[in-house]
Amino acid sequence: MISRNDCIQMDQADDLANLKNEFSLPDNVIYLDGNSLGARPKAALTRAQEVVTQEWGMDLIRSWNKAGWFDLPSRLGDQLAPLIGAGRDEVVVTDSTSINLFKALAAALHMQAAQAQTASRRVIVTERSNFPTDVYIAQGLSRWLDRGYHLRLVDAPEDLHAAIDRDVAVVMLTHVNYRSGHLLDMKTLTAHAHAQGAMMIWDLAHSAGALPVALNDANADFAVGCTYKYLNGGPGSPAFIWVAPKHQTQFSHPLSGWWGHATPFTMDPRFTPDPGIRRALCGTQPIVSLAMVQAGLDVFAKTNIEALRRKSLALSDLFIELVEARCAAHPLALVTPRNHAQRGSHVSITHPQGYAVMQALIARSVIGDYREPEIMRFGLTPLYLGFTDVWDAVEVLRDILDRQDFNANQSRDAVT
Ligand SMILES: Cc1ncc(COP(=O)(O)O)c(C=O)c1O
Ligand SMILES: Nc1c(O)cccc1C(=O)C[C@H](N)C(=O)O
């Protein structure tokens, strides 16, 4: 079995190990929750001070032009684009993932309704285990449209293919499942959806910045995702939306606010959408938070996503191997696929007292999170985690389980 010394040597041989210096993390914390809230890039503090003291404090309203605030959603979109296999002028960083999903789904349903061959279709396919906001947004929009749209909720990834048939208007899937960490095959599913005449929307919340994504190569239609997880944009940082170049001129969504106008400052009472991706914008953006996204994205310029993916898989392989070897006496079950082609960058493991065990880990500075039912989630983020961190985290887990050092009767915090 791999020893702690082996892990130290793996860290010494790791070309990506220095990237940890880009982040500010408390000493002695092993942070396994970058899949929920990424760590803070050191540069974020400098950038925040600059935005608040100089751009806001001194330059005031002039900063919309002088500091490029107005263009920030598209500038950041261009910076993010290579990480998701998109091109320039195809992505904007704006609003939340939920809101962007609403726009993308509304636009996709509208485009399908406008085509004779697909106008009668009323089914939206997604996974029952998709992150709830995705399901809620689709339910809410369907109810609001009141035209008979309804969800077909699929129970297992292997059933998706059969569920996407010629009744389906839109397929809306999350690339890496928030709970299981299961990675779907974007290219094959997109090709199948298109062959059935459906449009394809991808939620990249758990894949952007975690693994290579190839939206254009997969010929997807729309994508959305978070910047506060693997892209390290900060708590609640604005999300992104991608529209395939072929759809940009038809992309029409109901949140047609003035930031999506072709010429916002003409103050025209008629809405004329921007000719490009900026039509996906709605209203004024939270500039301070948006500025932090740049600090997160800048780190990716110092490495490449393929190398990060290799390290992420090596970390999660090591984590699984050590948990299975060192905690074998305990009722743990691996939820995440072992197969690399089906695994994102977090590992989920059940324990009947999963919440209590996770709280005990957090109390000992090994920070992951808990999701129903019984799931302990461990994010293996290659930018700031080493192999020795993984070894040490599993050692704390083993100790907690061996000594049953957790409180099974504690009440739950609001955020688990
Ligand atoms: C798959 C997925 N979609 C969306 C979200 C979040 O959306 P929002 O930022 O709008 O809360 C999350 C996590 O919070 C998620 O895991
Ligand atoms: N978005 C979150 C939030 O607003 C509060 C606490 C956690 C989160 C999360 O990121 C949840 C996350 N999408 C998940 O995969 O569970």
Q: Does the annotation list 131 as a binding residue?
A: yes
Contact residues of ligand 1, CB 6 A cut-off: 96-98, 131, 133-134, 174, 178, 203, 205-206, 226, 239
Per-residue pLDDT at 28 = 94
Q: How far apart are CA 340 and CA 317, in angstroms?
A: 9
- Which atom of ligand 1 lies nearest, measured to the CA of 99? 10
Helix, strand, coil % in the chain, rounded to nearest 5: 45, 15, 40
* CATH number among 3.30.420.40, 3.90.1150.10, 3.30.470.10, 3.40.50.300, domain 4-41+304-401: 3.90.1150.10
Residue 376, φ and ψ in degrees, nearest 5: -95, 125
The response to whether 98 counts as a known ligand-binding position is yes
Give start-end residues of each CATH 3.40.640.10 domain in the chain: 68-301
Coil, helix or strand for 217? helix
* Residue range 7-51, pLDDT digits in tens: 999 999 999 999 999 999 999 999 999 999 999 999 999 999 999
Q: Which residues pair with 225 in a beta bridge?
A: 240
Of 235, 227, 205, 232, the closest CA to residue 22 belongs to: 232
Tell me the average pLDDT of the chain.
97
> What pLDDT is recorded for position 119?
98
Atom of ligand 2 nearest to the CA of 415: 6
Backbone dihedral region of 174: left (phi > 0), alpha (psi from -120 to 50 degrees) or beta?
beta
Q: Look at ligand 2, atom 8, and give the residue with the nearest C-alpha.
A: 36
Q: Is 175 annotated as a binding residue?
A: no
DSSP string covering 190-213: HHHHHHTT-EEEEE-TTTTTTS--
Q: What is d(CA 294, CA 287) in angstroms, rounded to the nearest whole number?
A: 11
Tell how far the Cα of 103 is from the centroid of ligand 1, in angstroms: 15
- Measured by CA distance, the residue closest to atom 2 of ligand 2 is 36
- Shortest-distance atom of ligand 1 to CA 100: 10
Give residue 6's pLDDT band: very low, low, confident or very high (50, 70, 90). very high
For residues 196-207, give the mean pLDDT: 98
pLDDT at 409 over 90: no
- Is residue 330 a known part of a binding site? no
Among the bound ligands, name the one nearest to the CA of residue 181. 2
Higher pLDDT, 394 or 407: 394
The closest residue, in CA terms, to atom 7 on ligand 1 is: 97
Nearest to 29 by CA among 320, 318, 396: 396
Per the DSSP assignment, residues forming a β-bridge with 182 are 343
Residue from 35, 98, 173, 183 to probe ligand 1 pocket by mutation (most atoms less than 8 Å from CB): 98
For residue 416, the ligand closest to its alpha carbon is 2
Mean pLDDT of the 256-284 span = 98
Taking only the tens place, the pLDDT of each residue in 19-29 is: 999 999 999 99
Residue range 384-399: mean pLDDT, rounded? 98
Q: Tell me the CA–centroid distance for residue 41 and ligand 2, in Å.
A: 19
Distances (CA, A) of 348 to 13, 66, 296, 345: 27, 46, 25, 10
- Cβ–Cβ under 8 Å, residues 408 and 356: yes
Q: Is 46 annotated as a binding residue?
A: no
Cut 0.90: pTM above it: yes
How many residues in total does the chain contain?
416
ipTM exceeds 0.95: yes
CATH number for the segment(s) 68-301: 3.40.640.10
- Cα–Cα distance, 350 to 375 (Å, whole number): 4
* Ligand 2 pocket member 230 (CB < 6 A): no
Span 140-146, average pLDDT: 98
Bridge partners of 152, per DSSP, are 125
- Give the Cα-Cα-Cα angle 275, 69, 285 (nearest 5 degrees): 75
Structure tokens at 289: 């938070």
The 8-class DSSP code of residue 122 comes to -
How large is the C-alpha radius of gyration of the chain? 22
Summarised one tens digit per residue, pLDDT across range 295-311 is 999 999 999 999 999 99
Residues 6+ apart with CB under 8 A from 412: 355
146-197 pLDDT, tens digit per residue, is 999 999 999 999 999 999 999 999 999 999 999 999 999 999 999 999 999 9
pLDDT, tens only, 101-132: 999 999 999 999 999 999 999 999 999 999 99
Bridge pairing between strands 91-93 and 240-243: antiparallel
Q: Beta strands 168-174 and 199-203: pairing type?
A: parallel
Nearest alpha carbon, ligand 2 atom 15: 178
Q: How far is CA 137 from CA 94, 103, 104, 112, in A?
A: 17, 10, 11, 18
Q: Is 102 annotated as a binding residue?
A: no
Give the per-residue pLDDT at 410.
Answer: 86
The atom of ligand 2 lying closest to the CA of 228 is 10
Question: Does residue 370's CB lie within 6 angstroms of at least one atom of ligand 2?
Answer: no
pLDDT at position 411: 87
DSSP letters for 266-319: G--SS--B-SSGGGG--S---HHHHHHHHHHHHHHTTS-HHHHHHHHHHHHHHH
> Which residue's CA is the closest to the ligand 1 atom numbered 4?
97
Residues taking part in catalysis: 131, 203, 228-229, 377
Q: Residue 1 pLDDT more than 90?
A: no
The boundaries of every CATH 3.90.1150.10 domain in the chain are: 4-41+304-401
